[in-house]
Amino acid sequence: MRRLLGSLGAAILLAVVSIPTTHGQSPAKSAGAVVPGGAAKGYVQPKTPDGQPDLTGFWTNATFTPLQRPNNVKKDFYTVEEVIAAEKAAAAREDEQTIPGTEEDLHYDGTQFGLGKTQSRYARNLRTSLITDPPDGRIPPLNDQGKQRLAQREADRKAKRIFITNRVELNSIVGPNGRYDSAQNNSLDDRCIITGQPGPPMVPGGYNSGFQFVQSPGWLMILTENMHIARMIPTDGRPGLPQSVRGWTGISRGHWEGNTLVVQTTNLNTELSVPGGAAPFWMAISENMKVTEWFTRVDANTINYKFTVDDPATWTKPWTAELPFIADEGPMFEHACHEGNRSMTNALTAARMADKRAAEAAKKGSN
């Protein structure tokens, strides 16, 4: 399976630096660090047949830059030397081999299967976090409503043992086998239902960070490589839908402001987690959360992507992040999750065998 991995960084218009890059080469023939384009002087955006700015193409948003600024980092930008060192350290962690026979060893060997970010294109800039506001680069604190909602949802999910959405919670499940007691105890992505990568917001994940943008009059479709989810975004001015109508990717409505596509999404499913370091905070989101996204093509190979998450019933203030989508080669290959989801069957079968062995051992011990 081809992994479309790309882009490191955020706030590309502010943090582009003059360092070695493959920028300007064909996306099909280059890999490694790319300095994304700023608003290129004299650049004229291409237009679709109906006269709108053209976002069509294959793009990627993989990144070494975390969503939130690390606690031990107290500045907005790295030096060139620091960002290169940070990339090398992150790549080394990704490439570490697991201990044979351990639970962690059940996952892919990243570099063997082309999952390493350095094996494909990624954008480079000096920002220390994708979050640009608040200035500390961190998700704002939960307010009292958010804290109460988070506590209640954690309690409810432990009691019902269903729709677990992230590993932070999985690790706290009460039970002899935790997530392996049933398929429903596993996260939505482990069950091959959906990941957080389609968004909104479209926060980079660990791998499979490719996207295909397709435009037609009144519509933008964004196909996500990971779990092949398609976001359908009307841009024809139609109204939204009642709050009772919800979806994994919410209900989106887009409109053009000059050369920028603005998309507002509501009616999100509160069960969906988001990647990139937003868990467990994301588990507290309310049904009224709104995500606003801005897509601006700044050169032939770069879309500047910015989003704001606004949920007054969850966080003390809205928060904003920014990152580039850079051009990559298509088409995207099918993402066959768990290669037919056999991993789930194998994991549960192994857990039942462990249960049987434990029961037999306990029976012998009682004799």
Residue 335 and residue 130 in contact, taking contact as beta carbons nearer than 8 Å: no
- pLDDT 10s digit of each residue in the chain, 367 long? 333 333 323 333 333 332 333 333 344 446 777 767 666 678 899 999 999 999 999 999 988 898 999 998 999 999 989 989 988 888 787 777 667 766 566 666 667 777 777 777 888 888 999 999 999 999 999 999 999 988 887 777 666 554 444 444 444 443 455 667 777 777 777 788 888 888 899 998 878 889 999 999 999 999 999 888 899 999 999 999 999 999 889 999 999 999 999 999 999 988 776 666 666 667 788 999 999 999 999 999 999 999 999 999 999 999 999 999 999 988 888 877 766 667 788 888 888 888 888 888 888 877 6
Provide the pLDDT for residue 273: 66
In whole angstroms, what is the distance from residue 180 CA to residue 167 CA?
13
Query: Among candidates 240, 238, 302, 301, which has minimal Cα distance to 265?
Result: 240
Provide the pLDDT for residue 75: 94
Q: Does residue 83 sit in helix, strand or coil?
A: helix
Provide the pLDDT for residue 276: 61
H/E element holding 254? strand 251-257
Residue with tokens 């980079």: 204
Residue with tokens 């398929």: 183
Residue 181 has phi, psi (to 5 degrees) of -70, -35
Peptide bond into 49 cis (omega under 30): no
| Token output for 357 | 């062995």
Query: Judging by DSSP bridges, how do beta strands 121-123 and 32-34 pair with one another?
Result: parallel
| Token output for 52 | 């709108």
Residue 141 and residue 315 in contact, taking contact as beta carbons nearer than 8 Å: yes
Query: Among candidates 363, 350, 352, 362, which has minimal Cα distance to 103?
Result: 350
Provide the pLDDT for residue 169: 43
Residue with tokens 């993402």: 335
Query: Among candidates 222, 221, 188, which has minimal Cα distance to 202?
Result: 222
In whole angstroms, what is the distance from residue 16 CA to residue 10 CA?
10
Provide the pLDDT for residue 162: 46
